[in-house]
Amino acid sequence: MPPREDPDKLWRSEGAPSTPPPPRKTSRGNWFSMILTALVVFLLVDLLLSAFGGGRKTNIPYTEFTKQLSAGQVSEIYAKGDSIEGKLKSAQPNPGNSKQTYENFTTTRPTFANDNLWSELTTQNVKVDAEPVVKERGFLANLLISLAPMLLLIVLWIFIARRMSAGGGMGGLARKAPPKPVELAPGAKRTTFDDVAGIDEVKDELAEVVDFLRRPEDYRKLGAKMPRGVLLAGPPGTGKTLLARAVAGEANVPFFSASASEFIEMIVGVGASRVRELFAEARKVAPAIIFIDEIDTIGRSRGGGNSMGGHDEREQTLNQILTEMDGFSGAEGVVVLAATNRSDVLDPALLRPGRFDRTVMVSPPDRTGREAILKIHTRDKPLGADVDLEQVAKTTPGMTGAELANLANEAALLAVKRKDDALSARDFSEALEKVQLGAVRALVMPDADRLRTAYHESGHALLGMLQPGADPVRKITIVPRGRALGVTLSTPEADRYSYTEEYLRGRIIGALGGMAAEQVVYGVITTGAESDLEQVTNIARGMAGRWGMSERVGRLTAIPNDAQGAYGLAAAPSTLDAVDEETRRIVAECYDEACRKLVAHREQLDALASALMEHETLDEDEAYRVAGLSA
């Protein structure tokens, strides 16, 4: 993924006229207005309450009541049982609190009171009500009281939602600026198909889209509909983003780009509104391209197991994208390109006709493709006479465009360090070492530990060299690199697309070689083999549970890939047990074979280990020579 140029901007777009960004509202202002609104809501609720609820009632002693009654001050009362409430003709001093007066009151008549209340009331002409004089809070008031906290929450929620949807800091209350296309730096060159190599089939497929964007009217006139969405599927770093940019560049249309993960916020509804806005803006300047990276983060199918948090938001955002795409007439000239490296987990709804009905597979480049990509990324770098890009391409099977671009850059950095004015072949081989093995770590190890590492790596290497059909060993080193104390590198001669059972066993034996060597030489093993074991387990489990290489489990998929999650292929527990047992069996057999071979070839093992102690690093030729084998 390319770095984000501006963390404050949700959409990155290029190639269309720009306007200066609107002045920002400070977030202080937002908080202020938020608190203000909260206050207003409180006041309103209070006001309504007093309007419906009438005045306060003061609890007075019964003697105070009879006193006021005989003084002719009581205007009306309401009584229920022994409790009386009522109203005075005018406010009187409160006997309980001399600083206050009261008008409405409640009191309780003692059961033993031996007065003649009724005749007293009639002589004083007091109105005796059938209903409470001071009304209880009405239904509406009660409702308001119980709703007040909720109201407050809702107000708060709206504020936060608006702040978030403003795309970070563009202002809470302020109407946020729509995603305006931003111009490329003046004179900057737009990405074109010339910047993409090694995936020519893909370019051909996208050429049609480019043509459509260049002259949408011609398509409209003939009633031809273009695909609304094209899905670019492929492993990371194969150039999907680059391709989308190139399509926009070739067609010379504005390019809107957003990452699907940026749509997902804590607050439901924000993602959908962002999508709506993105499409609205793109339509305004159509023909245009919208690029949505990592579409799988919101486009996962529902059974995908991964249902942690943000579920509703994810679904709403996805639905909004689908709605927007359905809304296209197809002739509007907005084409959506989306990228994923997990097309297997996508919701089928995304792939229906009228949506992403075209999928373009973007694969890692082959040898000629790698050479072409290296050419592109050394275009602006002076190369020494000894640099042979074809050779570099040969030694980099499996590497993606992004990794090759990185390799070329590392080589240039090394040349700068050497203060040379051109990149040499050595820069490339050192850069490759660094990229493949990790950076050298300054770590001083006692000789005993170095020797143990030397045996460990020699074990890997020797078994790799002995195994027929295995990838050749390219390099052995006991210089600590990355997280490892030593590294043995083997890479295939040519690109491999499928693997035989024999090859996989060879890989397991090679990976167990380090541990086996320690066992054979020292009789004990160390913790240094953790990542070896991970690799071993992965391969062996795959053989038993995925690739049908175990008679006992049978020719079936017993281990679901995570796309199917817990809902997909639910294998019976007994099947999974069988997979475990078969995995164990395969690993145990391979380990035995590794130990057996190392014992049988102990002299070669010793020779490799002592050569490593002396030279620290052996390349392919040296390693095979020391072991007395031919590469």
Residues that bind Zn ion (CB under 5 A): 514, 532
Q: What is the 3-state secondary structure (H, E, C) of 321-387?
A: HHHHHHHCCCCCCEEEEEEECCHHHECHHHHCCCCCCEEEECCCCCHHHHHHHHHHHCCCCCECCCC
Question: Residue 11: phi, psi to the nearest 5?
Answer: -100, 140
198/480 with CB nearer ligand ATP: 198
Known binding residue 236? Answer is yes
12/507 with CB nearer ligand ATP: 12
Partner interacting with residue 91 (select from ligand ATP, Zn ion, none; CB below 5-8 Å by kind):
none
- The nearest distance, CB 437 to ligand ATP, in angstroms, is 21
Known binding residue 560? Answer is no
**DSSP letter string, 489-555:** EE--SS------HHHHHHHHHHHHHHHHHHHHHHS---GGGHHHHHHHHHHHHHHHHTS---TTT-S
Partner interacting with residue 532 (select from ligand ATP, Zn ion, none; CB below 5-8 Å by kind):
Zn ion
Catalytic residues: 457
| Residue from 401, 464, 486, 545 binding ligand ATP (CB under 6 A) | 401
| Residue from 144, 199, 230, 609 binding ligand ATP (CB under 6 A) | 199
Mutual angle of helices 447-466 and 501-522, in 10-degree steps: 150
Known binding residue 310? Answer is no
Judged by CB under 6 A, the chain residues 56 through 95 that form the site for ligand ATP are none
Partner interacting with residue 405 (select from ligand ATP, Zn ion, none; CB below 5-8 Å by kind):
ligand ATP
- The nearest distance, CB 396 to ligand ATP, in angstroms, is 13
Known binding residue 317? Answer is no
| Residue from 167, 198, 459, 464 binding ligand ATP (CB under 6 A) | 198
Helix (H, G, I), strand (E, B) or coil at 305: coil
> For 281, how many CA atoms within 13 A lie in the half-sphere containing its CB?
27
- The nearest distance, CB 242 to ligand ATP, in angstroms, is 4
**DSSP letter string, 589-616:** HHHHHHHHHHHHTHHHHHHHHHHHHHHS
Nearest residue relative to Zn ion (C-beta): 514
- The nearest distance, CB 234 to ligand ATP, in angstroms, is 6
Nearest to 167 by CA among 180, 177, 181: 177
Nearest to 11 by CA among 258, 253, 254, 244: 258
Known binding residue 180? Answer is no
Q: How far apart are CA 424 and CA 378, in angstroms?
A: 12
Is 411:384 a contact under the CB 8 Å cutoff?
no
What is the x/- site pattern for ligand ATP, positions 323-352, by CB under 6 A?
----------------x-x-----------
CA atoms 60, 65, 67, 72: torsion sign: positive
Helix (H, G, I), strand (E, B) or coil at 271: helix
165 binds ligand ATP (CB under 6 A): no
Whole-angstrom CA distances from 185 to 14, 174, 242, 244 are 9, 29, 18, 19
Judged by CB under 6 A, the chain residues 474 through 503 that form the site for ligand ATP are none
The piece of 61-69, 89-97, 232-240, 579-587 that touches ligand ATP (CB under 6 A) is: 232-240
- The nearest distance, CB 527 to ligand ATP, in angstroms, is 33
- The nearest distance, CB 481 to Zn ion, in angstroms, is 12
Nearest to 276 by CA among 163, 148, 410, 165: 165
Partner interacting with residue 514 (select from ligand ATP, Zn ion, none; CB below 5-8 Å by kind):
Zn ion
- The nearest distance, CB 237 to ligand ATP, in angstroms, is 5
Q: How far apart are CA 123 and CA 125, in angstroms?
A: 5
The residues that bridge with 90 in the sheet, in sequence order, are none
What is the x/- site pattern for ligand ATP, positions 359-398, by CB under 6 A?
--------------x--x----------------------
Per-residue tokens: 437: 């093995």
Helix (H, G, I), strand (E, B) or coil at 18: coil
Known binding residue 364? Answer is no
360/605 with CB nearer ligand ATP: 360
Q: How far apart are CA 512 and CA 522, in angstroms?
A: 15
Judged by CB under 6 A, the chain residues 402 through 461 that form the site for ligand ATP are 402, 405
Whole-angstrom CA distances from 598 to 99, 472, 589, 606 are 103, 18, 14, 10
Known binding residue 472? Answer is no
What residues form the annotated binding site for Zn(2+)? 456, 460, 532
What residues form the annotated binding site? 234-241, 456, 460, 532
Site of interaction with ligand ATP (CB under 6 A): 1-2, 196-199, 236-242, 293, 339, 341, 373, 376, 401-402, 405
What residues form the annotated binding site for ATP? 234-241
